[in-house]
Chain A
Amino acid sequence: MTSKPNKDPDIADTDPYHLFDMHFKITDRNITKILSEALSTGGDFAELFFEYRMAGSMLMEEDILKESSQHISMGIGVRVLKNDQTGYAYTNEPVQKKIIQAARTAAAIACGNGSVRTAGFERKLPVYQNYDMHLPLHRQSFDTKYHLLQSAYVSARDLDTRIENVQATLADEIRSVTIANSEGLFISDLRPQVRMAVRVTAREKDRRNTGLSTGGGRIGLKYFRDDTTPETIGKKAAQEAITLLSAVDPPAGEWPVVLGCEHSGVMIHEAVGHPLEADTNRKKTSIMWDKLGKQVAGSAVTIYDDPTLPHLRGSLNIDDEGTIPEKCILIEKGKLVGFLQDRLSAKLMNLPPNGHGRRGSYQDIPIPRMANTILAKGEADPEDIIRSVKNGFYAKSFQGGQVQNSGKFTFSVNLGYLIENGKLTKPVKNATLIGTNVQILNEVEMIGNDIGFFLGTCGKDGQSAPVTAGTPTMKIRKMTVGGR
């Protein structure tokens, strides 16, 4: 689809091409020339990726605004594909000579002759606006942002006399990405990203514990007014640190585990999302590669990834290859039905792309990644789920997780609870849950009718990407809990 840049006066500088035009003074004709150079050795496909990013952050600790910073990064990546081979080069000097040089370097992946006729480019815009571009943070005054940070800080500090220290950060960025490829695609996207994080240490006698809480997404100022206030974020971190002061060590062994809805998305992300990224499936190194169409989970389990959900941390208008993303169902009623695709994997697997090709920055090639990964709600009342466990473990908040291609995963529980006779009793600190995805998917016994979102930064192949993972409360029949 083609349309004119948005001229809504209430929404400042949302023309995605604005930053591109300002910083990369490059004509359509020159883009054609660079792409021809990139394909001159016989490549199948060439692509230019232009990125301009402006970010700001501020840190408050020891009751003062200690530091603030601003970052600008700019660069151009040139990619050439020849069958399943990739040539990539990048530069951060936006001059024709340098980009041509990068194109020649990337072209070295192919070694033949080629010529390309790229039709004239027509500037396209994303079809949907999945970000809140109203009152974007990067357009707000320093004072406005500082007040947000300060109220999170103060509400954490003042929650309890046992709070020893608080660190609060607010980071916001605006990232302009523009993609031009040898198939004639020319598209641009302007992406906001905001993250507030509060870390609190509480102390009682010789004992110290740390609580963490975050908020944010592709949001504007409204989020902090109507959705999740800075006070909520600050208090939550402080409350967690205080609760942990009386926490016991986890019970080691296999237990029924209830995963609370707030953060357990990280398990779906690790256990299901990563193994269903198309690259490791086409290479047949993922444990899931031969399971398409097969029942891999109980029939109550439906899992999807949807970059088009509005304003979440992982939301996207286009992916980093210019594909308009779609909601991608991975597991439907227990059956494996889809993989997360980028262009290359989709082509090699002969499946349609679904807009999950993402890159950490212009320095990285696109790879299949998650955006917003969700386990669909069930019908159980979360209270009933806890009541159904005689002795077990309840995981409330997580620090993160990791998975291997073989499907083995772990995740670290910052705060959990013992379940005794159907009730949450003692708080538990620092537990690890471990398992394999195949086993865990088959051991989901109950799924709640609630949902919560985990805001994360996912690392893969040395690239990081902002993601969201959502789950209801759920019960796993049996899981290994690490502890003493």
Chain B
Amino acid sequence: MPVTANHHLELAERLVDFGRKNGADQVEVTIGENTEFSVDVREGQIEKLLEADTCGLSIKVIVDQRTATASSSDLSQQTLHTLMQNTIKQATYAHQDTFAGLPDDHGETDSAEDLKIYDPQIPEMETRAKIALAKEAEKIALSDKRVTKSHGSGVTTIHGATTLVNSKGFSGSYKRTLIASGVYLQAGSGDHLFDEGWSDSTGTLADLWKPEQIAEKAVHRVTRLIGATKIKSQNVPVVFEPRMTAGLLGFLLSCVSGGNIYMKNSFLSDHLGKKIAGSNVTVVDNGRIPGAPGTRPFDREGVSTRETVIIDHGELKNYLMDTYSARKLGSRSTGNASGANNLYLQAGNTDPENVIKSVKNGLLLTGTIGFGMVPSTGDISRGAFGIWIENGELAFPVAEITISGNLGHMLRNVEIIGNDLTFRRSITGPTIKISEITVGGK
């Protein structure tokens, strides 16, 4: 059983005091505890059952504007005291950095309860029920004869607590829950196989997709690829399914992250206030959307989360910053020390079907593999697969192709934005159509 957050508040407070008494100017202590359960089912049988309780503590100290950090999953007092003393000593080796230090202002922290990120039903869920969920989704998926194999069906639950105390007087903790369920399948024959699946995750049990929905989505995603062929290289309009839009936003995130901005590792450095996208494009990060997967009361530095408009009708308004990068950029933390909270592209009005109908000859992008995204240039080049669109209709599947382009160029050429935005992943977006992208093939 995990120890209570109260106990951790005390442990963190004592360690902060210990650090201050041992020569640190500023100390921050974070304690995370998690209880995880997961079951993997394959071909109707349990393949793996996992259960674990873990706890980890991390320390940041600043001595004379010099920073050092440490972490330990060994929470014995002796280890923690030695680690604190070593970290303080280690900080003195670093160079003085006038931008170093804990946040000056943590913002207003309201009750974590309003954020709806903890559902007591999840920790109470019975093991049998979770196994049944996993088996059910797989069974339904495999009942479709076009599906040849299951890579497995899984259900994972996590409940945990985060506690943060620092020497500037911040002290806070919150609990959160997560349940995820997904199935991953194979279809095709001979050497022409296709792997696809679907998983859903949420913080509230009642909100989880039913096994039928997950199976149906996974089956649809894998079977529609059967018989995929290569196509000739050409420049065409490309429709991004919501998860593909999210992939693009994930890349945008690294291009607007304070760290990459002050290091000038991003093509969007020095672009604040400039028009970088079409006026239909608005991108927001909001850490306070009740029940959303990236919602949290405060970030890794104890700074309260908030709503930050990154791109407002095409204009670059804000970078996402932690305390350090904000100081480097002469600004204030946006509560993004933990990365994106809920980062999304604002929905448009068009039904996704009508987005596809608008394409005479082009690609519906359904999946990508590989890396190939460079923040310093905005260049994108990835392996891709999807469905070819002819005269507004889905015509035939395509695979072993590449898409390549530049994020800046894509943002300026978002032709249509769909109305299908949901908050089931922390980075999310609706269906979009980009007027022209290079698709590489034969």
Contact = CB atoms under 8 A, between A and B. Distances in A.
Interface of A: 23, 61-62, 64-75, 84-93, 102, 105-106, 108-109, 142-143, 146, 164-165, 167, 201, 203, 207-210, 249-250, 252-254, 283-285, 287, 363, 365, 399-412, 414, 429-432, 434-436, 438, 480-484
Contacts of B422: none
Contacts of A91: 52-54
B72 interface: yes
B264 A285 contact: no
Given A167-B263, A432-B383, A86 B54 contact: no
Contacts of B68: 67-70
Nearest to A101: B53
Interface in B230-262: 230, 233
A62 B262 CA distance: 10
Interface stretch (B16-24, B274-282, B372-380): B372-380
Contacts of B67: 66-67
A285 B186 contact: yes
Given A90-B52, A482-B403, A484-B404, 4 more contacts: A89-B51, A249-B404, A365-B48, A481-B402
Contacts of A287: 191, 193
Contact of B47 (A84, A406, A481): A84
Contact of B93 (A68, A74, A209, A435): A68
A245 to B, nearest CB: 11
A294 to B, nearest CB: 12
Contacts, number: 254
A210 B53 contact: no
B379 A430 contact: yes
Contacts of A365: 48, 50
Contact of B51 (A105, A285, A400): A105
10 contacts: A65-B93, A68-B68, A68-B94, A72-B71, A102-B51, A249-B404, A254-B442, A404-B195, A410-B382, A483-B404
A207 B267 CA distance: 8
A75 B54 CA distance: 9
B180 to A, nearest CB: 12
Contacts of A70: 68-71, 83, 86-87, 90
B438 interface: yes
A37 to B, nearest CB: 15
Q: Name the 10 nearest CB pairs between A and B, nearest first.
A: A482-B402, A410-B383, A410-B370, A412-B372, A406-B193, A64-B95, A252-B440, A482-B440, A69-B69, A72-B72
A284 B402 contact: no
Contacts of B400: 408, 434-436, 480
B374 A73 contact: no
A480 B401 contact: yes
B146 to A, nearest CB: 15
B45 interface: yes
B353 to A, nearest CB: 28
Contacts of B192: 406
Contacts of B70: 69-72
A254 B68 CA distance: 50
Contacts of A93: 55, 75
Interface string B149-193: 101000000000000000000000000000000000010100111
A432 B382 contact: yes
Interface residues of B, number: 73
B107 interface: no
Contacts of B186: 285, 405-406
Contact of B54 (A71, A142, A285, A363): A363
A92 B267 CA distance: 43
A68 to B, nearest CB: 5
Contacts of A108: 49, 127
Contact of A405 (B195, B371, B372): B195
Contact of A434 (B127, B194, B379, B401): B401
Contact of A72 (B52, B74, B230, B379): B74
B438 A75 contact: no
A482 B72 contact: no
A434 B383 contact: yes
B369 interface: yes
A412 B370 contact: yes
B413 interface: no
B104 to A, nearest CB: 19
Given A410-B382, A410-B383, A480-B442, A402 B369 contact: yes
B93 A88 contact: no
B121 interface: no
Contact of B441 (A109, A210, A401, A480): A480
Contacts of A61: 263
A90 to B, nearest CB: 5
B370 A432 contact: yes
A86 B97 CA distance: 50
Contacts of A407: 191, 193
A408 B369 contact: yes
B46 interface: yes
Contact of A401 (B74, B97, B127, B370): B370
A402 B191 CA distance: 18
Interface in B49-63: 49-56
A483 B54 contact: no
Tell me which of B50, B195, B404 has the highest count of chain A C-beta atoms within 10 A of its own C-beta. Answer: B50
Contacts of B399: 408
A404 B442 contact: no
B79 interface: yes
Nearest to A98: B53
Quick one: which of A87, A209, A403, A412 has the most chain B CB within 10 A? A412
B265 to A, nearest CB: 6
B116 to A, nearest CB: 27
Given A65-B94, A67-B67, A23 B74 contact: yes
Given A91-B52, A480-B230, A74 B74 contact: yes
B72 A73 contact: yes
Nearest to B328: A62
B440 A483 contact: yes
B73 interface: yes
B48 A92 contact: no
A74 B403 CA distance: 43
Contacts of B127: 108
Contacts of B380: 430
Contact of B372 (A88, A201, A432, A480): A432
Given A210-B265, A210-B374, A252-B438, A74 B379 contact: no
A410 B371 CA distance: 8
